[in-house]
């Protein structure tokens, strides 16, 4: 692609932000509060709208239930629309009730499985009210000790629970299933990898697809292979972008390994994923850095990786690959990766009527000072742990 084509493709790239990025968060050791943090979902949406204001590329916000529970979801959706954003994916939570100590949809007790399924069905009701298309499922289900529970039976329970929720989905609604190879169950996890998620989604049908959270793999895992495979099978539903330095630390996307993000976006664009209904979300928390600029930087990182991926000379790459030119094909990829795309993105933003440097524009806007002064009193929103 040449520069105008890259810019045209980037105009279409939408990155969804998570409501929980704006609340206080931390490690299991300490949550540090920050000034101006939202006190309710309405204020979270206002902060998310700032990210869209300066990037022009983040028009939807993922909600997490019950962290974003409100009386009136239609009013919340209307508030979002007033701010120029929409409600995106509904993220379910079956991991913070005492009942879920031994799992949720895989729990040995049918009554607790039912409670978890009821929560997921309630999430679909919320999707109906907000106009959301996707229900995101991540289960903290698993076991800590060999013999603790029946590994096979847990898969049966998972499958049965998912089928009930799948049957409730509307015409244009999907369920997207996330995997994670460890934590919080350290011996066995019920959806540990993309293969397990894929197998369940395949069995469920066309409205089920896999979520790839970049932080949920063992070190050294080739994530772009997973992306290529799932896209090929039409089963890549969404991304949870973040960076992982050693565990699921959910740091800024593209921070730990921008080259990996480039490789992923190369496979995404090659596989038609930029036009195939894949939802590109951030799944991040900002524990020590300012939250809104943390999100702006993350959106910019995904844009930069995508721009570089779009610059790959695919014709030259295919020719080098066909000729068995190992070094030549690698060089084609590296040429694109080593291109400084920041001037192109600055130009694109100016063409869109945005500031060339979103970080600086936000910093100069006075918004951070304004919310710190206004949001006094009430309980700051947190990620609920």
What's the Cα-to-Cα distance from 249 to each of 56, 193, 265, 379, rounded to whole Å? 27, 18, 21, 25
Reported for 275-278, long-range contacts at CB under 8 A and 24+ positions apart, including other chains, are: 275/12, 276/231, 276/234, 276/236, 278/231, 278/236, 278/237, 278/238, 278/239
Closest distance of CB 240 from Mn ion, Å: 3
- What SS3 class is residue 239? strand
Length of the chain equals 385
What are the counts of helices (DSSP H) followed by strands (DSSP E) for the chain?
14, 10
End-to-end CA distance of the chain: 45
Looking at residues 163 to 182 of the shown chain, list those that interact with ligand RM4 (rule: CB under 6 A): 178, 180
Tell me the DSSP string of 292-345.
HHHHHHHHHHHHHHHHHHHTS-HHHHHHHHHTT-HHHHHHHHHHHHTS--HHHH
- Provide, rounded to whole angstroms, the least separation between the CB of residue 368 and ligand RM4: 25
- In whole angstroms, give the CA distance from residue 145 to residue 171: 41
Closest residue (Cβ) to ligand RM4?
A: 138
Contact positions vs Mn ion (CB under 5 A) = 213, 240, 283
Give residues 138-167 in contact with ligand RM4 (rule: CB under 6 A): 138
How many angstroms separate the CA atoms of 131 and 88, rounded?
A: 8
134 scored as a contact of ligand RM4 (CB under 6 A) = no
| Nearest alpha carbon to residue 86 among 31, 127, 139 | 127
Question: Which lies closer to ligand RM4 via its Cβ, residue 43 or residue 240?
Answer: 240
Cβ nearer to ligand RM4, comparing 248 with 335: 248
- Residue (50 or 213) nearer to ligand RM4, CB: 213
122 binds, among Mn ion, ligand RM4, none (CB under 5 to 8 A by kind): none
What is the nearest approach in angstroms of ligand RM4 to the Cβ of residue 23? Answer: 12
Binds 107: which of ligand RM4, Mn ion, none (CB < 5-8 Å by kind)? none
Measure CA 339 to chain center: 26
The residue (of 50 and 213) whose beta carbon lies closer to Mn ion is 213
Residue 129, token pair as written in the block: 């009210």
* Comparison of 43 and 240: residue with beta carbon closer to Mn ion: 240
Residues 202-261 that bind ligand RM4 (CB under 6 A): 213, 240, 248
> Smallest distance, Å, CB 207 to Mn ion?
20
Residue 22, interface with ligand RM4 (CB under 6 A)? no
Q: Is 91 in the site for ligand RM4 (CB under 6 A)?
A: yes
What track of x and - describes contact with ligand RM4 for positions 275 through 294 (by CB under 6 A)?
A: --------x-----------
Q: Which residues bind ligand RM4 (CB under 6 A)?
A: 91, 138, 178, 180, 213, 240, 248, 283
């Amino acid at each position: 692609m040449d520069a105008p084509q890259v810019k045209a493709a980037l105009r279409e790239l939408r990155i969804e932000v998570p409501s929980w990025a704006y609340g206080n968060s931390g490690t299991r050791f300490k949550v540090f509060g920050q000034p101006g943090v939202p006190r309710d979902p309405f204020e979270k949406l206002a902060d998310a709208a700032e990210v869209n204001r300066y990037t022009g590329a983040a028009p939807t916000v993922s909600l997490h239930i019950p962290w974003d529970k409100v009386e009136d979801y239609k009013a919340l959706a209307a508030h979002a629309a007033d701010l120029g954003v929409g409600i995106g994916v509904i993220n379910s939570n079956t991991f913070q009730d005492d009942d879920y100590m031994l799992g949720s949809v895989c729990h040995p007790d049918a009554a607790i499985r039912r409670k978890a399924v009821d929560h997921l069905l309630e999430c679909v009701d919320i999707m109906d009210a907000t106009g959301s298309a996707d229900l995101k499922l991540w289960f903290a289900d698993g076991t800590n000790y060999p013999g603790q529970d029946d590994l096979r039976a847990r898969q049966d329970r998972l499958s049965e629970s998912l089928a009930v929720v799948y049957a409730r989905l509307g015409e244009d609604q999907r369920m997207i299933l996330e995997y994670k190879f460890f934590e919080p169950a350290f011996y066995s996890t019920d959806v540990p990898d993309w293969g397990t998620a894929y197998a369940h989604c395949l069995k469920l049908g066309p409205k089920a697809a896999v979520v790839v959270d970049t932080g949920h793999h063992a070190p050294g895992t080739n994530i772009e292979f997973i992306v290529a495979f799932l896209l090929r099978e039409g089963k890549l539903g969404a991304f949870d972008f973040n960076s992982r330095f050693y565990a699921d630390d959910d740091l800024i996307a593209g921070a730990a390994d921008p080259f990996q993000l480039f490789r992923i976006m190369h496979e995404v664009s090659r596989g038609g994923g930029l036009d195939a209904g894949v939802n590109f979300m951030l799944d991040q928390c900002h524990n020590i850095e300012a939250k809104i600029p943390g999100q702006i930087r993350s959106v910019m990182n995904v844009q930069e990786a995508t721009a570089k991926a779009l610059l790959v000379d695919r014709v030259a790459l295919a020719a080098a690959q066909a000729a068995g030119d190992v070094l030549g094909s690698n060089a084609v990829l590296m040429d694109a990766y080593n291109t400084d795309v920041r001037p192109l993105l600055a130009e694109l933003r100016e063409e869109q009527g945005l500031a060339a440097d979103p970080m600086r524009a936000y910093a100069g806007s006075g918004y951070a000072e304004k919310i710190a002064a206004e949001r006094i009193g009430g309980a700051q929103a947190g990620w609920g742990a």
